[in-house]
Amino acid sequence: MTLNQTEHSSDAPLPQPNMKHSTTVSLPTVFHVGNLERDRTKPYISNEGMELSVSVHPRVWKQIMQGGGTPESEPTYTYELSHADAEFYLVDPTDPLDTERQWCLDNGYVTEVNGYRVTYETGDGETAYMEFGDETKANTEADERHGEVESVSILELAANGVEYWESAFRQSPNAAGSITIKGLLPIWYAKQAGYDGVWWDEQLAPQKFSAPRGAIFQEKLDQFSRDVIDID
């Protein structure tokens, strides 16, 4: 279903995104590595926003978490989450997020400002980039990484984005980086469209701390059954 985007007041419901834009992936069973037995605490920052991170490679994600410095004193479990009709909004990391970006611009989640992109080569020979609002910081980073600087439009949080950020993270919205904000665009877009979550079809490469990953929206969690399983 596609609805025309219209102006809205702060109390009016947001218009739905174009649900035909991207592919939907059906995932009746996914896994979460963590602790769902305690009250949820805000992370300082997270690529999955305030939503529940999930995967279909729990062993790989357990390795990634351990490699990322998860405290050993913190108990973690592996949960099998099942929902026969679960539908996730599929994101191909190689595709631009033009539609999601425009919807979030139109609906008060983000705004565009002038900024700078530093493009550089990683130690693995891959191209990567960073974005800054401050030209001096961009030039300093480019010098250190032997990269190049170009002027681009970068993202800042607008009112709805700030509201979500403050609910999701302990980090101040004033510290929100453009690339992190960009990663949240599919979450805001798909949440309003009624999906159960978002699925990023990332490369399965544990040595690069990379694996396909997803996020279940908090308001959809009650629709999933959960069981603790042993993967060791």
Residue 72 confidence (pLDDT):
54
pLDDT in tens, 174-209: 999 999 999 999 999 999 999 999 999 998 888 888
Q: How far apart are CA 197 and CA 218, in angstroms?
A: 9
Residue 4 confidence (pLDDT):
26
Give percent of the chain above pLDDT 90.
69
Long-range contacts of 131-138 (CB under 8 A, 24+ apart): 131/177, 131/178, 131/179, 132/178, 133/178
| pLDDT tier, 67 (very low <50, low <70, confident <90, very high otherwise) | low
Span 16-20, average pLDDT: 47
pLDDT in tens, 216-230: 999 999 999 999 998
Give percent of the chain above pLDDT 70.
87
Q: Tokens in use for 142?
A: 């480019």
pLDDT in tens, 123-167: 888 899 999 999 999 999 999 999 999 999 999 999 999 999 999
Residue 66 confidence (pLDDT):
72
Q: How far apart are CA 189 and CA 191, in angstroms?
A: 6
Residue 70 confidence (pLDDT):
52
Query: Do residues 48 and 32 touch, judged by C-beta distance below 8 A?
Result: no
- Checking if the pLDDT of 28 tops 90, the result is yes
- Checking if the pLDDT of 16 tops 70, the result is no
pLDDT in tens, 48-61: 999 999 999 988 88
197-200 and 87-91 strand pairing: parallel
225-229 and 77-82 strand pairing: antiparallel
Domain ranges of the chain: 24-93+194-229, 99-170
Span 28-37, average pLDDT: 92
Residue 10 confidence (pLDDT):
37
Q: Tokens in use for 10?
A: 């702060």
